[in-house]
Amino acid sequence: MKRFLSIIGLLLLLVTALGAQQDWIRTGTGLGVERVRLAVPDFKSTGADAQAAPLLKVFNDTLWYDLDHAGIFDLVSKSFYPLQAPGTPQDMKLEVWSSPPPSAAMVAFGNLAVTGQDVTVQGWLYDVKNTATPQVLGKQYREAASSENARLIAHRFADEIIFRLGGGIQGIAESKIFFVSARTKHKEVWAMDYDGSNQHAITHLNSISLSPRISPDGSRIAFTSFARGGVDLMMYSLDLGRVIAFPRFGGTNLSPAWAPDGTKLAFSSSRTTDPEIYIVDSAGAGLMRVTSSKGPDVSPVWNPKTGAQIAWVSGRTGLPQIYIMEADGTNAQRITEEGYAVSPAWSPNGQFLVFSWIRHYGPGAPGAQDIYLMDIASRRWVQLTHDGGRNDFPSWAPDGRHIVFESSRSGSLQIWTMLADGTQQQQLTTTGSNTQPNWSWK
Amino acid sequence: MAQNADIFFERDSWRGPLTWSAVLHCALFGGLVAYSVVIGGFRGNNWGSNGAGDGAMSATLVSTVPLPASPVVSRNVLANESKGLTQSIEQKVEPPPPDAIPIPEREAKPKPQKQIATATHTKPVQTQPIEQPTNAVPYGQGGPVSSMYGFSAGAAKGGFGFSSGGGGDFGSRYGWYVDVVRRKVSENWLKYEVDPRVGNAQRCFVTFDITRSGEPTNVRLEQSSGVPSLDLSAQRALQRIDSFGPLPADYSGSKVSVEFWFDYQR
């Protein structure tokens, strides 16, 4: 009898295994890839604390900015919203939001409360067309009550929404941009948040500092400086808050670039009179030369995906052009064929290069310097900026969807950002002259 | 003596095992019948967006089926620019006899050649490289027969309408995730990888699985479009994607299968 029961049990297992089949998605192109129509009503204040009102304003403004600049949402204008903004899921009336005038597909809502020394934020993301199980996301945050923390919480909630609805896109709301600013009469390395707020100086060398490059772990900045007499690489530790030791190689040393694992630096050095690309480890030891052609070789960047290729600028055939090679110096290929091409930056997915290009260079040519994007596999390119001025020094955001660059279109050199298709161009800095931006790795 | 009786004389009874065997077979058969009749309804649900007009497939009965015109434009195969297989014979020009003297009046006066003004700016212009595939079949000179009218995009008014999956209650639950998948694949599909000579192609189907962490795996071409470069570009679109983002946290399965189609129109 035991055997019989065990056989019946086995059969039942077989049947249930057959029954639990795979879930299928059947979909395709040609159905429209319009952006997600997202409504973000202002969060509600639930506490009676007087401190809550300014924090709530900071929070609401930051959340709106982050989602608006993510490039994947079509934010519903606030004038279309119903008068009663929901603060909790109980207040949420799905049909009001899904039907006109808002006609939203998604709604992000929640509340903010200040209790004692802490600020608490509850946030939800609802799929309003789905009446049965609308909740996509529910989050609660608690930090010490301050304006910075209200911004931080808004950034984190925005990143969470972007990660969900963007299909695994890492949000950039907490990333930083490093740049060179001359607003204190000296060119120093400065830093700011990705939206241009919180601008502050990093170095105070009272000299000329150029081309800051943040390490992949965000702990150090390598840059070029005139502070030690010659033109040398220097290293600044953000953990220690000071310049740390880095060897001098002789000659003019320019444009450091971190390998994606953070163990190596590529840079250009003229220690043998002709500027060539060299690689050292992150402490400055193990110097290795990788190019050996006549003519200057400068501005190396690593392929962030593989760490096995380097793109750089070479003047071996006259005007500067963009080249690609393996990190050991083999298999060099030229990828631009005309004009004046400088400042390459490699996209985080390894697929694209952006660079600054004067396509028609020389007397009688228009000579506009613009940012271009090239698909490396097919060598096809797209022009991203058209608005005049000098556009140079592009750098990719860690999400691979945004680019920061410097432009002189507003009359002075300032830092701008845009989406990687050239839309949503926006000026971040206004004071003094600000150049050579570098977006952090995360 | 009976004490050293041979073991080969102690025959086992066959009745017990035979009965068990019969019971096992009956139970197996009964189980399969029960599965197909009773539990067959438990098969996996379809995911799909919860937009209007959902439903896996709908067929409308019409009196006459208005077949749309072939989407492939066939040129006249008898009079095209192909040189064909025959080779033309070179015509020999007979030289004039050696004592022939040309009549001076008949000689045409050589016209003074106008100097063509050369452009001062003669720098080479970098043009977009055009891929020249070697194995593509140009239209009008053979190639696949155009068929499958019911599935060509936009031909939904007659015959069949084929909408975006949808239907099952499971699908309406995670419609936002289906939208994410559709958007992400469409963004990563680079249409310029398709042979520029192809104007219109049949639908190409690619299937793949999405793991819990959101990575596409097991990408395979389910049904070719007949245009190799289109099939390749569709598979490359999937290869470019690292992640769709993790599956919804409250979804219990370990993976989701996706059937994705690509409609190409120049």
Adjacency order of strands within the sheet including B204-211: B46-47, A23-28, B255-262, B204-211, B216-223
Which region among A165-179, B59-73, B146-160 has the lowest average model confidence (pLDDT)?
A: B146-160
Asked whether residue A52 is domain-assigned, the answer is: yes
Rounded to the nearest angstrom, the gap between the alpha carbon of residue A300 and the centroid of all alpha carbons in its chain is 19
**Which ranges of chain B does DSSP label H, i.e. alpha helix?**
15-37, 169-173, 175-188, 228-240
Asked whether residue A200 is domain-assigned, the answer is: yes
Question: In terms of CA atoms, which chain B residue is nearest residue A169?
Answer: B245
| Whether the Cβ atoms of residue A67 and residue A73 lie closer than 8 Å to each other | yes
Per the structure, the count of domains in chain A is 2
Point out the residue among B45, B176, B244 whose CB comes nearest to the CB of A127.
B176
DSSP, collapsed to helix, strand or coil, labels residue A143 as strand
DSSP B231: H
d(CA A168, CA A390): 34
Q: From residue A407, give the alpha-carbon distance in Å to each of A356, A370, A392, A410.
A: 11, 9, 6, 8
Residue A266's domain comprises 176-439
Left if phi > 0, otherwise alpha if psi is -120 to 50, otherwise beta: which for B18? alpha
Q: Report percent pLDDT > 90 for chain B.
A: 5
User: Looking at the predicted structure, is the pLDDT value of residue B77 above 60?
Assistant: no
Asked whether residue A24 is domain-assigned, the answer is: no
Chain B hits for A351, CB-CB cut-off 8 Å, are: 240
A225 and A308 assigned to the same domain: yes
- ∠ CA A90-A171-A115, nearest 5°, is 45
| B109-157 confidence digits (pLDDT tens) | 666 666 555 555 555 667 777 665 556 544 443 333 332 322 223 322 2
Pairing outcome for strands B57-59 and A321-326: unpaired
Mean pLDDT across A19-40 = 70
| A85-116 confidence digits (pLDDT tens) | 888 888 888 888 888 888 888 999 999 988 88
Contact assignment for A27 to B178 by CB distance below 8 Å: yes
pLDDT at B6: 63
Which region among A121-135, A314-328, B58-72, B201-215 has the lowest average model confidence (pLDDT)?
A: B58-72
Point out the residue among B43, B164, B189 whose CB comes nearest to the CB of A27.
B164
Non-local (6+) Cβ contacts of A183 within 8 A are: A431, A432, A433, A434
A204 and A250 assigned to the same domain: yes
Give residue limits of the domains in chain B: 165-191+201-266
Q: From residue A358, give the alpha-carbon distance in Å to each of A298, A369, B128.
A: 17, 5, 16
Q: From residue B120, give the alpha-carbon distance in Å to each of A400, A422, B63, B93.
A: 41, 33, 69, 42
Mean pLDDT across A116-145 = 88
The CATH number given to whatever domain includes residue A45 is: 3.40.50.10070
DSSP, collapsed to helix, strand or coil, labels residue B56 as coil
Contact assignment for A336 to B126 by CB distance below 8 Å: yes
Which one-letter amino acid corresponds to residue B97?
Answer: P
- Higher per-residue confidence, B57 vs A172: A172
Boundary (domain end) residue, out of A107, A133, A165: A165
Contact assignment for B27 to A23 by CB distance below 8 Å: no
d(CA A129, CA A226): 60
DSSP, collapsed to helix, strand or coil, labels residue B97 as coil
pTM reported for the whole predicted model: 0.71
DSSP B265: B
Which one-letter amino acid corresponds to residue A388?
Answer: G
User: Looking at the predicted structure, is the pLDDT value of residue A163 above 50?
Assistant: yes
Boundary (domain end) residue, out of A141, A165, A189: A165
Chain A nearest C-alpha distance from B140 (Å): 26
- Higher per-residue confidence, B59 vs A211: A211
Contact assignment for A23 to B257 by CB distance below 8 Å: yes
Chain B hits for A16, CB-CB cut-off 8 Å, are: 39
The CATH number given to whatever domain includes residue A285 is: 2.120.10.30
Mean pLDDT across B159-168 = 32
Chain A residues 315-374 with CB within 8 Å of chain B:
336-339, 349, 351, 359-360, 362, 364-365
pLDDT at A72: 86
Question: In terms of CA atoms, which chain A residue is nearest residue B258?
Answer: A25
State the fold for domain B165-191+201-266.
Answer: 3.30.1150
Q: Is B194 on the interface with A (CB under 8 A)?
A: no
A277 and A406 assigned to the same domain: yes
Q: Exposed (0-12), middle (13-18) or buried (19+): which is A226, by Cβ within 10 Å?
A: middle
| B208-254 confidence digits (pLDDT tens) | 888 888 899 989 998 888 888 888 988 888 888 888 888 888 888 78
Q: Is B17 on the interface with A (CB under 8 A)?
A: no
Q: How confident is the model at residue B2 (pLDDT cuts 50, 70, 90)?
A: low
Contact assignment for B258 to A27 by CB distance below 8 Å: yes
